[in-house]
Amino acid sequence: MYSGKKHILQLVALLKAHGISQVVLSPGSRNAPIIRSLAGDPFFSCHSVVDERSAGFYALGIMQYKAEPAVVCCTSGTAALNIAPAIAEACYRQLPLIVVTADRPAAWIGQMDGQTIPQPGMFQSLVKKSVQLPEITTVEDEWYCNRLINEALLGIDHHGKGPVHINIPLSEPLFDDTADALPEVRKITRHTDYKPFRERFLRHKRRMILAGQSDYDNRTVEALDRLANMAGCVILAEHLSNIYPPPHTRSTDSLPVKNVDEVLHLLPQDDRAPYAPSLLITIGGHIVSKRIKQFLRGFQPEEHWHVSPSGEVVDLYQHVTDIIEGDGRAFLEQLIGDGKAAGDDGRAFARLWHAASQGIRTPEVDFSDLYAVKALLEAIPDHSFLHLANSSSVRLAQLCRIDRPLRISCNRGCNGIDGCLSTAAGFAAVNEEPTFLLIGDLAFFYDMNGLWNSRISKNLRILLNNNGGGGIFHSLPGHGQSASAWPYISAPHHTSAKGWAETCGFTYLQASDKNELDGYLPAFISRHGDRPILLEVFSSIEKNTEILRNYYNNLKNR
């Protein structure tokens, strides 16, 4: 029998899945559920050592002879501190010691309860990885716990070997051996050898590559195109991926699907399963679309391979099975191999996505934030440098079709509105070509000091959508249910950038209708001129919200 505590079951099952069988156990009550679960499973070779100071070094001796990782497990409080000398030795000897410490629930730390000291991260720089497991009460807790244990166990030999720390808070009752079997658990594996993946790739009929934010080079884009043509693999991308079809592309079925949000909006809730991949490959950085995140979390692929240059475990869609450490282009080229694929199996899946994507065009809308975004994206020249501020700007841009090469950037590392203006200003300061920034009012005024410096480039072009507040918040579900709170959420204002822009040396333009905006755009995008330009577009939050809502409604009624 095993403990009924789900985080212990995850730990025991994953130790087995990773082939780690040598365990040194020190006695205690708080770690008793862990001891009983490990000692009761014949897979594990358990050793009892009372003194934790000796237990840690005892485990090092096992490792030195067996040439494999070992676990040392102790109870809560100062017992854990006594393993520190062995952890230090393992750190400097680069030995894969797995330290499992039982702990009291966080609520009782510092409350004069027995054997309670702050244990999360207690070994600091002496361990390669330190994780604090959650006590599992939800499905998300279970996924999180599984991921953390996998990360810790993968850390023992990543870029050199060394110790890791797994801290496990345990609530009473402690003696609840109610599980008669271990659960099936997901084992995450890290790879540096790409060769075995081509055969695995070709076994799947529903192949999807999701390309996140990046500045992909031409060879990577060509590799994606060849892979799509060769194997019928659907490529999903957003504007921030900077993926555009190479000029010699051979098939419309190899084009990246870039209107992912609209496609998923159109799919009936009960008819989405055929669009789910059996193999998901993710490359690059962040994804803007919340819909694709929810879709891929809801439909579990058989395999999810994430290409991670650092080998870091990233599990955005909650189903990652393999971490491919290395270069995305090299991995894609390995999948291409000799360029020959077995059969036509993958093409039906790709055509399904392309059929759903076709016919969705850039919206034709009245004067609004979305109209201004569309007008700018249609007007700026090919290969222009375009910065998108977070919140509405990056999302509205994604609704507009862009089939030509632009260099698009956005601060999606943390997705904050702080610094969007300053980043574009810094970029423009060292760029001899025009730098365009599309930004909303809250992001602009929050970071307006980004223009308060002596190095503002004459090539900086800012289109500021000023709708008098945080327009994106008016699209949130539940808007209007608490009228007293919404002024604090959306921060309405009556501020204009005119005075500040002119003080900072900008040519200031403003537009309040289509004719004014369309009339100013030629001067705005021009490479000529000796001053930076700020074009402030005034619109209505209510009108913007209505236009966006009607756009999505009209998609289903087309």
Residue 237: φ, ψ to 5°: -150, 160
Helices 84-93 and 52-66, axial angle in degrees (round to 10)? 30
Q: What pTM, to 2 d.p., does this model score?
A: 0.92
- For 191-357, CATH number out of 2.40.50.100, 3.40.50.1220, 3.40.50.1780, 3.30.70.260 equals 3.40.50.1220
CATH entry 3.40.50.2000 includes domain 6-176: no
Q: Specify whether the CB–CB gap between 281 and 320 falls below 8 A.
A: no
CA distances from 251 to 229, 232, 356 (A): 7, 10, 16
| Domain segments of the chain as ranges | 6-176, 191-357, 369-556
Three-state DSSP class for 166?
strand
Other beta carbons less than 10 A from residue 456's beta carbon: 18
CATH superfamily of this structure's domain 369-556: Thiamin diphosphate (ThDP)-binding fold, Pyr/PP domains (3.40.50.970)
Residues of the chain with pLDDT under 70: 247-253, 341-344, 470-490, 557-558
For residue 299, the number of C-alpha atoms closer than 13 Å in the C-beta half-sphere is 18
pLDDT digits (tens, 9 = 90+) for 400-442: 988 888 999 999 999 898 999 999 999 999 999 999 999 999 9
Write the DSSP symbol of residue 179.
B
CA 304, 308, 311, 312: dihedral to nearest 10 degrees?
Answer: -80
Q: What is the pLDDT of residues 503-530, one digit of tens each?
A: 999 999 999 999 999 999 999 999 888 9
Residues whose CB falls within 8 Å of the CB of residue 524, separated by 6 or more in sequence, listed in order: 379, 461, 463, 509, 533, 535
Residue 93: what pLDDT? 96
Rounded alpha-carbon distances, angstroms, from residue 396 to 70, 121, 130, 164, 259? 52, 41, 40, 44, 12
> How far apart are the C-alpha atoms of 370 and 547, rounded to whole Å?
8
CA distance linking residue 322 with residue 300, whole number of Å: 14
Question: Quick check: helix, strand or coil at residue 15?
Answer: helix
User: What residues pair up with 236 in beta bridges, in sequence order?
Assistant: 210, 257
**Topology alike, domains 191-357 and 369-556:** yes
Neighbours of 1 (CB within 10 A): 13
